[in-house]
Amino acid sequence: MPRDFKPKVVTANALLEGDVIYLTEDDSWTRELKQAEVITDEAVAQIRLLDASSRVAEAVGAYLADVIDTPDGPEPVHFREDFRRKGPSNHFHGKQAAGQ
């Protein structure tokens, strides 16, 4: 029996900076998970992933990540995705330093 499809976002890493990025509804990349397109249809998710994977001049390692769609935008389901969006864990730099 097939599993129910869980909402997903397309995520990758920015080619030049290495930051975690998310695909938006208007086909741009954002560094904010709350602005990511939440995909609820499996066929659409596969098409969006194929498109994102072909944009090798912008992003690398594109994949689908499970999310929960909340009134404030998508939130990660797995610890890994929550960890990725917070930035490097070894020092305060990049987006961590900007929040200080």
- pLDDT, one tens digit per residue, over 43-97 is 999 999 999 999 999 999 999 999 999 999 999 999 889 888 876 665 555 565 6
DSSP string, 38-80: PB--HHHHHHHHHHHHT-TTTEEEEEEEEEEEETTEEEESSHH
Q: Is the dihedral of CA 63, 64, 67, 72 positive or negative?
A: positive
Across the range 2-8, mean pLDDT stands at: 89
Q: Residue 14: in which H helix or E strand, if any? A: strand 8-14
